[in-house]
């Protein structure tokens, strides 16, 4: 199974399902002409075919990881890069806010306003 792609396994499963359904339809359409034994046998085989088919769909879904690995790696890198850019751009606002706090403090010192100095320091360290 290792060499088949997820898409190929899914196509196999689709074909299996068509075959299984054909067998099921044969049983439903010819039920009156089948012996009880034949009916039970076909019913059992039909069931086994359906069980194998559903398993193939699961296999295909698991195999998707191998096929999607490359795309997943690329998208994760791009997402991380854009998250970092977002942080950088958000930091610019932080730097501006910080600069404002420093300037507030400088203005208060120049104006010799003690209460403003206190509140500016509080703003700076908050």
Partner 1 sequence: MPQYHVKYVFLFLSSALLFSSCVNLKHVTEFSKSAVESVETFETLSSSFSQTCLEDCQSKNIAALNIHQTDCDCSQNEEADRVTALIYHGLQGYFYALTNISDNQLTNYQTDGLTNSITSGNFGSIQVNEADVKSYSNIITLVGRAFTDGYRRNKIKTYISNANQPVQDLLHFLDLNLAGNLKNKLEVQKSSLKNYYFDLVRDKKLSTYERTKFAEDYFSRIQEIERQQNELAAYSKILNSIAEGHASLNSEVEKLSDTELKVALAKYGSQLKRHSTALLKK
Residues whose CB is less than 8 angstroms from the CB of residue 83 and which lie 6 or more positions away in sequence, other chains included: none
Among residue numbers 14 through 53, which ones bind partner 1 (CB under 8 A)? 14, 17, 20-21, 24, 27-28, 31, 39, 43, 46-47, 50-51, 53
CB 49 within 8 A of CB 19: yes
**What is the signed CA dihedral for 38, 44, 45, 46, rounded to 10 degrees?**
100
- 113 DSSP assignment: -
User: Which spans of this chain sit near partner 1 (rule: CB under 8 A)?
Assistant: 6-7, 10, 13-14, 17, 20-21, 24, 27-28, 31, 39, 43, 46-47, 50-51, 53-55, 57-62, 64-65, 67-68, 70-72, 74-76, 78-79, 81-83, 85-86, 89-90, 92-93, 96-97, 99-101, 103-104, 106-107, 110-111
């Amino acid at each position: 199974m290792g060499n088949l792609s997820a898409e190929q396994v899914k196509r196999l499963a689709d074909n299996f399902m068509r075959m299984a359904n054909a067998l099921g339809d044969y049983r439903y359409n010819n039920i009156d002409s089948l012996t009880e034994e034949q009916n039970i046998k076909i019913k059992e085989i039909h069931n086994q075919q359906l069980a194998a088919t559903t398993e193939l769909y699961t296999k295909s879904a698991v195999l998707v990881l191998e096929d999607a690995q490359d795309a997943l790696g690329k998208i994760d890198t791009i997402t991380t890069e854009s998250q970092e850019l977002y942080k950088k751009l958000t930091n610019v606002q932080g730097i501006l806010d910080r600069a404002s706090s420093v300037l507030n403090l400088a203005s208060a010192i120049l104006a010799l306003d003690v209460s403003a100095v206190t509140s500016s320091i509080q703003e700076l360290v908050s």
